[in-house]
Amino acid sequence: MKMVKKAVCLISGGMDSFVSAAIAKHKGYKIYALTVNYGQKNKKEISSAVKIAEFLKVERHLITKAALSWTKSALTDAKIKIPREIRKGEIPLTYVPARNTIFISIALALAETVDAGAIFIGVNAVDFSGYPDCRPEYIRRFQRLINSATKKTCGGGSIRLQAPLLRMSKEEIVKKGLSLGLDFSITWSCYKSGKKPCGQCPSCIIRAKGFSAAQTPDLIN
């Protein structure tokens, strides 16, 4: 009997988690997509996440709430404006306290519930090195925590935390996605919720640089 490999894939609506989930699918995993509605100001992300889950023909797409509207961040607090630029060596205002830790924890609950052996997250440490919870050390420590955190992992099973984009540049991520046949026009990277991406926020700028370096047009424009 062939074992069914299952993976929980965190899907934010952006490019990175799309590529990360597509890699899981390419590796033969059945995908359980997970999107966390955490009270972000930007609601476009979630509708993009729905399109991505449909594109990837996932087994199930769970959109669950974990209110973080009480955190201090430009992404959750209406009083804090999205910054125009990111200063080198500084953690940007768009950092949401413990967000990835909460996301991975919820993914862990889902992985245990559906008996999945892997969690895929699209973090990368290269083009967003300002975030502490996007670094290899963080992922390694979370894996060690997982190994002693659940009924499954303490009972002989394993849940591997996979971050396949961890060491990729945005250019490499774009190229990887294109090689997997992904339609990036359904993704949303802009920190704002306009009809079109603003083109000026740090996330739009990093996205544009990635497409430009990969010498391919961004069809969202």
- DSSP assignment of 125-140: SSTTTT-GGGSHHHHH
Is residue 49 within the footprint of a copy of itself (CB under 8 A)? no
Is residue 151 within the footprint of a copy of itself (CB under 8 A)? yes
Contacts of 113 (CB under 8 A, 6+ apart): none
Q: State which residue, 77 or 183, has the beta carbon closest to a copy of itself.
A: 77
Contacts of 82 (CB under 8 A, 6+ apart): 74, 75, 93, 94, 191, 192, 201
Is residue 97 within the footprint of a copy of itself (CB under 8 A)? yes
- Give CA–CA dist 216/196, Å, rounded: 19
Out of 17, 94, 153, 203, name the contact with a copy of itself by CB under 8 A: 153
CA–CA distances in Å: residue 69 to residues 36, 129, 153, 203: 13, 24, 32, 21
Is residue 70 within the footprint of a copy of itself (CB under 8 A)? yes
Which range, of 11-19, 47-55, 62-70, 188-196, touches a copy of itself by CB under 8 A?
62-70
Out of 62, 182, 204, 220, name the contact with a copy of itself by CB under 8 A: 62
Q: Which two tokens stand for residue 7?
A: 């993976």
- Give CA–CA dist 182/168, Å, rounded: 17
- Give CA–CA dist 83/16, Å, rounded: 21
Closest-CA residue to 170 (of 200, 212, 108): 212
Out of 26, 43, 54, 113, name the contact with a copy of itself by CB under 8 A: 113
In angstroms, what is the minimal distance from the CB of 20 to a copy of itself? 19
Q: State which residue, 99 or 176, has the beta carbon closest to a copy of itself.
A: 99
Q: Which two tokens stand for residue 72?
A: 């201090």
Binding string, residues 131-150; x marks residues near a copy of itself by CB under 8 A: -xx-x-xx--xx-xx-xxxx
Sheet holding 118-120, edge to edge: 30-37, 6-10, 118-120, 160-162
Q: State which residue, 150 or 212, has the beta carbon closest to a copy of itself.
A: 150
Q: State which residue, 152 or 170, has the beta carbon closest to a copy of itself.
A: 152
Q: Which two tokens stand for residue 35?
A: 């999107």
Is residue 219 within the footprint of a copy of itself (CB under 8 A)? no
Is residue 87 within the footprint of a copy of itself (CB under 8 A)? no
Is residue 71 within the footprint of a copy of itself (CB under 8 A)? yes
In angstroms, what is the minimal distance from the CB of 4 to a copy of itself? 18
Q: Which residues bind a copy of itself (CB under 8 A)?
A: 62, 64-68, 70-72, 91, 95-102, 104-106, 108-110, 112-113, 132-133, 135, 137-138, 141-142, 144-145, 147-151, 153-155
